[in-house]
Every structure is written in structure tokens, then in C-alpha cells.
Chains A and B, each alone.
Chain A
Amino acid sequence: MELYFFLFFAIVAVASSVAMILQRNPIYCVLLLIMVMISIAGLYLMLDAQFVAIIQIVVYAGAIMVLFLFVIMLLNLSREEGGVFRIQKPLAVLLAALLFLPVAAMVMSYAGGGTTPPADGGGAGFGEVEQIGTLLFTKYLLPVEIAAVLLLIAIVGAVVLTRKGTVSVGE
């Protein structure tokens, strides 16, 4: 049963992602990416990562992707015309395929690295908000703070870059 779920999510994710990078219409691309996000969220759930799954949907699919959509609509982008990457395209696919071989070989040989996953997923509360929250404010206090700074910088940056009145379109 689990395997079917896995296969379902996996196939949806891969198919949507491949479709996304092939799709010419940017709006469809965004939607396809959201599909990928949701499938991944499903996989997270299967991995006992409820909190992350929620975040994935709420923040990633919900907020970030909407931002994409927003910008695309703002710029009123139409379909992408035929690419100029005549050589680049097949080369890129080939390279990605080639790169897949060692990476896949690497991860397939891993097989847990001598560890076996705990059957109950690491005990009660694994992947739940409380446990994560505790860790965030103890062990991972510093990274969280840095992340806060990061967000601040991003905000400032985005504002600085897009502040109106300094640049007119097509200048």
C-alpha cells in the first residue's frame, strides 16, 4: 500500500516537474510546480514529517509559488518563443542524464549506510511541531536567527531593487 502511495506521488512529482521544464506557458509552469510541491508534501507525510509537509504546502506552494504567479501576471508574460539553445538543450539533457548515473549509483548503494530506520519513526512526536519547535529554539537557535537576518536582507533587497520612480520601463 505504502509503495503505491509512494509511486503515485513520485510519478506525479516527476511527471509534473518534467512537464514544467518543457511547458511553454509560464502560468502552466507555475501550476505544474505547485503539483510537484504537493506531491512532495505527500511524500513528507509518508516520511512522518507532518510539520514540514504543512510548511511545504502553506509556505512553499501557497506563498512562494503564488509570488511567482503574481510576477508572471504582473509582467503579463506570454508564451515563450522557440528557444535559441539549439546545442544547449540536448547537451543539457544529456549532461543531466549522465550526471544522474553517478548520483544514482551513489544513493542506491547507500541503503541506509548500516543504519536501519526506526520502525516507529524515531519515537513519539517525531516530526511534530513541538519537537521541531524545541529544537529550533535550543540547538538551532543560531541558524534560526540567521535565517531571520536573511529574510530581513531579502526584504530590504527586494525593496531597494524594485523601488519605483528611479527607473522607467524600457529605459
Chain B
Amino acid sequence: MIPVTYYLVLSAVLFLVGATGVLIRRNAIIVLMGIELMLNGANLSFVAFARQFGMVDGHIYVFLVITVAAAEVAIGLALVILLFRNRGTVNIDEVRSLRW
């Protein structure tokens, strides 16, 4: 049995890599993917904890989180498409008319 800590550390790494992706990428879609990565990291923790407690609740959370992720992706991609239509780009560092 692998200690739960391993999974947790892995999930932390994935979460932070995802967060880093959000911070450094210009392409809105990749940023969105970074967020997905973060969610996956969190999910991994849930499942690891569920195993640790021997309770299946954590799985349900993951199930629900995937639903949420799907919803978010739908909206996110819609917004990206809209952005592309409006400005012909998906690079969000070019979208900075609202500032100061």
C-alpha cells in the first residue's frame, strides 16, 4: 500500500503546476487547461483521502467536480470563442482595455 502522503504530494505538485500554467500562458485555452489541471490535482487528493478513510464520499466529490469542470469548460470555451470573434485573438495579455 502506497502511503497516502505520496498521492497528496503528487496532487499538490499537479495543482501547482496547473496554477503555474495559469500564470504563465498567454493562450486563454491553455490557461483554461491549467485550471483543469488544478482541479485534477484536487481530485486526486479527494480520492486518496477516500481510500484512506475507506469511505466512498470522496469519489462522489470527484464525480461532481468533473461535472462542474465540464460546465466551466463549456462557458470558458464559449467566452474564448467570443473573444476570438471580437478581437481575433485568444492571447489574453492583449486583452487589457479595462485597466487602472
Measured between beta carbons, the chain A residues less than 8 angstroms from B51 are 47-49, 117, 121-122
Where chain A touches its partner, the secondary structure class is: helix
Contacts of B2 in A (CB 8 A): 2-3, 6, 46
Chain B residue, CB-CB nearest to A13? B14
Q: How many residues of B contact A (CB 8 A)?
A: 75
* CB contact between B50 and one of A47, A153, A154 (< 8 Å): that residue: A47
Whether B53 contacts A135 by the Cβ 8 Å rule is no
Q: How far is the CB of B35 from chain A (nearest CB, A)?
A: 11
Q: Assuming the A-B contacts A103-B12, A157-B78, A168-B85, are A60 and B71 also in contact, with contact meaning beta carbons closer than 8 angstroms in the complex?
A: no
Q: A49 and B47: CB pair below 8 A?
A: yes
CB within 8 Å of A: which of B6-58? Answer: 6-21, 23-27, 29-30, 32-34, 36-37, 40, 43-44, 47-48, 50-57
> In the complex the two chains form, is B13's CB within 8 Å of A14's CB?
yes
B95 CB within 8 Å of chain A: no
Contact with A along B68-100 (1 / 0, CB 8 A): 111111110111111011111011010000000
Contact A75 B52, CB 8 Å, known A64-B70, A157-B75: no
Q: Is the CB of B63 within 8 A of A52?
A: yes
19 additional contacts (CB under 8 A) given A44-B44, A108-B9: A29-B33, A36-B40, A40-B43, A52-B59, A52-B62, A55-B66, A56-B62, A60-B66, A92-B20, A103-B15, A103-B16, A111-B5, A123-B54, A135-B56, A139-B57, A140-B64, A143-B60, A154-B71, A161-B81
**Residues in chain B within 8 A of chain A (CB atoms):** 1-21, 23-27, 29-30, 32-34, 36-37, 40, 43-44, 47-48, 50-57, 59-60, 62-64, 66-75, 77-82, 84-88, 90-91, 93
A-B CB contact pairs (8 Å), 6 listed:
A33-B33, A52-B62, A127-B56, A150-B68, A158-B74, A167-B86
Listed in ascending order, the chain A residues whose CB lies under 8 Å from chain B are 2-3, 6, 10, 13-14, 17-18, 20-21, 26, 29-30, 33, 36-37, 40, 43-44, 46-49, 51-52, 55-56, 59-60, 63-64, 67-68, 71-72, 74-75, 77, 80-81, 83-85, 88-89, 92-93, 95-97, 99-100, 103-104, 107-108, 110-112, 115, 117-119, 121-123, 126-127, 131-132, 135-136, 139-140, 143-144, 147, 150-151, 153-155, 157-158, 161-162, 167-171
